[in-house]
Amino acid sequence: MTIHVDIVSAEAEIFSGTAEMVFAPAELGEVGIAPRHAPFLSRLVPGEVRVKISADEQLPFYVSGGIIEVQPHVVTVLADTAVRAKDIDEAAALEAKRRAEEALRDRSGKIDYAKAQAELVEAVRQLQVLERYKKHKGRLEK
Protein backbone atom coordinates (compact mmCIF):
# COMPACT_ATOMS: atom_id res chain seq x y z
CA MET A 1 0.00 0.00 0.00
CA THR A 2 1.35 3.39 -0.90
CA ILE A 3 0.58 7.02 -0.30
CA HIS A 4 0.94 9.90 -2.72
CA VAL A 5 3.41 12.58 -1.70
CA ASP A 6 3.76 16.12 -3.01
CA ILE A 7 6.56 18.35 -1.81
CA VAL A 8 6.43 21.91 -3.12
CA SER A 9 8.22 25.07 -2.15
CA ALA A 10 7.02 28.53 -3.01
CA GLU A 11 9.40 28.57 -5.94
CA ALA A 12 9.36 25.05 -7.36
CA GLU A 13 7.87 21.57 -7.27
CA ILE A 14 10.46 19.40 -5.58
CA PHE A 15 8.91 15.95 -5.49
CA SER A 16 5.71 14.27 -6.56
CA GLY A 17 5.18 10.53 -6.44
CA THR A 18 4.12 7.58 -4.36
CA ALA A 19 5.83 6.33 -1.23
CA GLU A 20 5.50 3.72 1.51
CA MET A 21 6.01 6.21 4.28
CA VAL A 22 6.92 9.83 4.88
CA PHE A 23 8.78 11.35 7.82
CA ALA A 24 8.53 15.06 8.54
CA PRO A 25 9.68 17.47 11.28
CA ALA A 26 6.31 18.64 12.65
CA GLU A 27 6.27 21.36 15.24
CA LEU A 28 5.80 19.00 18.21
CA GLY A 29 8.30 16.41 17.04
CA GLU A 30 9.00 14.21 14.06
CA VAL A 31 6.02 12.41 12.56
CA GLY A 32 5.92 9.31 10.40
CA ILE A 33 3.02 9.10 8.00
CA ALA A 34 1.92 5.72 6.65
CA PRO A 35 -0.87 5.17 4.12
CA ARG A 36 -4.40 5.64 5.53
CA HIS A 37 -3.17 8.00 8.21
CA ALA A 38 -5.89 10.12 9.83
CA PRO A 39 -6.23 13.67 8.49
CA PHE A 40 -3.48 15.74 10.04
CA LEU A 41 -2.44 19.36 9.78
CA SER A 42 0.67 20.85 11.33
CA ARG A 43 3.34 23.43 10.92
CA LEU A 44 6.85 22.25 10.13
CA VAL A 45 10.11 23.34 11.71
CA PRO A 46 13.44 23.38 9.85
CA GLY A 47 14.65 19.83 9.34
CA GLU A 48 14.54 16.72 7.23
CA VAL A 49 11.62 15.31 5.28
CA ARG A 50 12.29 11.73 4.30
CA VAL A 51 10.29 9.91 1.66
CA LYS A 52 10.55 6.15 1.90
CA ILE A 53 9.85 4.91 -1.57
CA SER A 54 10.64 1.27 -0.87
CA ALA A 55 12.36 -0.77 1.81
CA ASP A 56 15.79 0.13 0.50
CA GLU A 57 15.20 3.47 -1.15
CA GLN A 58 14.78 6.70 0.77
CA LEU A 59 14.84 10.26 -0.51
CA PRO A 60 15.90 12.91 1.99
CA PHE A 61 14.95 16.60 1.63
CA TYR A 62 15.69 19.64 3.70
CA VAL A 63 12.80 22.03 4.43
CA SER A 64 13.12 25.36 6.22
CA GLY A 65 9.60 25.21 7.63
CA GLY A 66 6.10 25.27 6.24
CA ILE A 67 2.92 23.26 6.52
CA ILE A 68 2.12 19.57 6.18
CA GLU A 69 -1.32 18.31 5.33
CA VAL A 70 -2.21 14.63 5.48
CA GLN A 71 -5.25 12.99 3.92
CA PRO A 72 -5.61 9.20 3.98
CA HIS A 73 -4.11 8.84 0.52
CA VAL A 74 -2.16 12.01 -0.04
CA VAL A 75 0.46 13.97 1.86
CA THR A 76 1.21 17.56 0.89
CA VAL A 77 4.25 19.38 2.18
CA LEU A 78 4.12 23.11 1.54
CA ALA A 79 7.64 24.20 2.34
CA ASP A 80 8.94 27.75 2.59
CA THR A 81 12.06 26.53 0.89
CA ALA A 82 12.97 22.92 0.11
CA VAL A 83 16.01 21.24 -1.40
CA ARG A 84 17.07 17.69 -2.04
CA ALA A 85 19.65 16.64 0.54
CA LYS A 86 22.26 16.06 -2.14
CA ASP A 87 21.77 19.63 -3.41
CA ILE A 88 22.46 21.29 -0.06
CA ASP A 89 25.21 23.85 -0.41
CA GLU A 90 27.53 22.87 2.44
CA ALA A 91 29.75 25.91 2.13
CA ALA A 92 26.79 28.28 2.20
CA ALA A 93 25.27 26.51 5.21
CA LEU A 94 28.58 26.64 7.11
CA GLU A 95 28.93 30.30 6.24
CA ALA A 96 25.38 31.03 7.40
CA LYS A 97 26.06 29.15 10.63
CA ARG A 98 29.25 31.08 11.25
CA ARG A 99 27.53 34.41 10.59
CA ALA A 100 24.61 33.57 12.87
CA GLU A 101 26.93 32.48 15.67
CA GLU A 102 28.93 35.64 15.30
CA ALA A 103 25.77 37.72 15.44
CA LEU A 104 24.66 35.91 18.59
CA ARG A 105 28.00 36.61 20.29
CA ASP A 106 27.59 40.31 19.56
CA ARG A 107 26.42 41.69 22.90
CA SER A 108 25.94 45.27 21.77
CA GLY A 109 22.21 44.65 21.48
CA LYS A 110 22.08 45.88 17.93
CA ILE A 111 21.17 42.53 16.42
CA ASP A 112 17.79 40.92 16.05
CA TYR A 113 18.32 38.07 18.50
CA ALA A 114 15.34 35.97 17.40
CA LYS A 115 16.25 36.27 13.74
CA ALA A 116 19.86 35.26 14.29
CA GLN A 117 18.74 32.30 16.36
CA ALA A 118 16.31 31.18 13.65
CA GLU A 119 19.06 31.44 11.06
CA LEU A 120 21.38 29.41 13.24
CA VAL A 121 18.77 26.67 13.65
CA GLU A 122 18.20 26.53 9.89
CA ALA A 123 21.91 26.29 9.11
CA VAL A 124 22.52 23.61 11.73
CA ARG A 125 19.57 21.52 10.53
CA GLN A 126 20.76 21.78 6.96
CA LEU A 127 24.16 20.50 7.97
CA GLN A 128 22.58 17.68 9.96
CA VAL A 129 20.50 16.59 6.97
CA LEU A 130 23.56 16.68 4.76
CA GLU A 131 25.61 14.78 7.32
CA ARG A 132 22.98 12.05 7.55
CA TYR A 133 22.72 11.89 3.80
CA LYS A 134 26.47 11.42 3.43
CA LYS A 135 26.53 8.72 6.09
CA HIS A 136 23.74 6.73 4.50
CA LYS A 137 24.62 7.47 0.93
CA GLY A 138 26.52 4.25 0.36
CA ARG A 139 23.69 2.20 1.82
CA LEU A 140 20.94 4.09 -0.02
CA GLU A 141 22.48 3.84 -3.42
CA LYS A 142 23.10 0.12 -3.34
Partner 1 sequence: MAVGKEIRTKIGSIKNTQKITKAMEMVAASKMRRTQERMNATRPYARRMQRIIRHLAHAHPEYRHPYLLPRDGKRIGILLVSTDRGLCGGLNANLFRGLLRRMKQWEEYGCHLELSIIGQKGVSFFAGVGGRIVAQKTQLGDEPHLGDVIGVVKVLLDKYDAGELDQIHLVFNEFVNTMTQKPVIQKVLPIEVEELEDQLRHHWDYIYEPDAKEVLDDLLQRYVESIVFQGVVENKACEQAARMVAMKSASDNAGKFIDELQLLYNKARQASITQELSEIVSGAAAIQ
Residues that bind partner 1 (CB under 8 A): 6, 8-13, 26-28, 38-43, 67, 69, 71, 76, 78
Shortest Å, Cβ 1 to partner 1: 17
Question: What is the closest distance, in whole angstroms, from the C-beta atom of residue 110 to partner 1 in the complex?
Answer: 22
Least Å distance, CB 114 to partner 1, is 17
Rounded Cα gap, residues 113 and 93, in angstroms: 19
Strands, DSSP E only, in the chain? Answer: 3-9, 12-19, 21-26, 29-33, 40-44, 47-54, 57-63, 66-71, 74-79, 82-84
Minimum CB distance to partner 1, residue 41 (Å):
4
Q: Which is nearer to partner 1, 30 or 57 (CB)?
A: 30
| Beta carbons within 8 Å of 67's beta carbon, 6+ residues apart | 41, 42, 43, 44, 77, 78
CB nearer partner 1, residue 26 or residue 51: 26
In terms of CB distance, is 59 or 130 closer to partner 1?
Answer: 59
Max CA pair span of the chain: 57
Q: Which is nearer to partner 1, 12 or 94 (CB)?
A: 12
Half-sphere exposure of 20 (CA within 13 A, CB side): 8
